[in-house]
A and B are shown apart, each in its own frame.
Chain A
Amino acid sequence: MTRTAPRAVESYLDHLRVLLSGADPADREDIVSSVREHIEDSLAQLDHPATDSDVDQVLTHLGPAEDVVASWADGMPATWPPGPPAPAPGSLLWAVACVLLAVLSVMALAVPLVGPVFQLVALAITVIAARRAVGHRGVHIAAAALTAVSLILSLVVLLFLTAASDGPADGEVPTPTSVSSIG
């Protein structure tokens, strides 16, 4: 085999491997290694050292990698090519957990100081879960939105309470500040 020949073979096999990325890994390796054997056998049966032209001819007889994949897909269920992956079994649990966090965030409005801290943590969790969710995305987004609204309301209440506690006491009349002259 010439120096450039293995590159053409490896390129063909890499392309085939990529096209079979949706296949079961064991099936993919079985098919790719069988095709590799076929190429090696074909070149080994030549009565002279393989040239680029020989390699091209072997690959031509093999056919495009797309044809190999089409042959594989022929034996697949009618749903091939696969649609979006089904939600992982754990994703429903995550969705329920996020809804629970959102509800607790609303209840945390009644707890002035600890509430916003809890809501902030809950918001971080629900936003990360929503970004990573495969299924139930609507539920995840709604939970994150509800948690965010709860946090905003908590902060508004906190600001209001802070402003009220810094303000003048009831009945106290503000007096003008006296300015003394210097000098």
Chain B
Amino acid sequence: MGSNDRALLLANLRRGALEYCVLAYLRNGPSYGLDIARGLGAGAVLIESEGTLYPLLSRLRKGGLVTTELREASGGAARRYYDLTDLGRSQLETFTDTWQEFTSSVNSILMGEPL
């Protein structure tokens, strides 16, 4: 498999999963964009370009899964913090259960085990 094929495969796998990874990252408390990007960005598996995180955060906010709040950063500039809502937490739990079933089935098939 070439690097282009791998990049395309990763892009397809990220769809539908990355937003829940963001919600999972926020489970421990409010965080700001750069921190979330660095937290998810290691290895470039979940995030290839840090900038792609922001449209996703905007969608999560519009969907009511996170809230934003402007707080003063150490340098004096305002920085927006994202926080998980009850709806976001509930959807994360549903995703977590479903993901475990999904990956379990995929792993079984990949390993040649009966479902």
Contacts and interface: CB of A to CB of B under 8 A. Distances in A.
A63 B55 contact: no
B3 interface: no
B32 A65 contact: no
B58 A30 contact: yes
Interface residues of A, number: 25
Contacts of B52: 63, 67-68, 70-71
Contacts, number: 74
Given A37-B79, A37-B80, A40-B77, A71 B56 contact: yes
A42 B32 CA distance: 12
Looking at chain A's contact residues, the main secondary structure is helix
Highest count of chain B CB atoms <10 Å: which of A41, A69, A71, A74: A71
A132 interface: no
Nearest to A63: B49
A68 B49 contact: yes
Contacts of B55: 31, 68-69, 71-72, 74-75
Contacts of A35: 51, 54
Give the 9 A-B CB pairs with smallest separation, nearest first. A63-B49, A72-B55, A71-B52, A62-B51, A68-B51, A41-B34, A34-B54, A71-B55, A67-B49
Interface of B: 15, 32-34, 37, 41, 48-59, 61-62, 73, 75, 77, 79-80
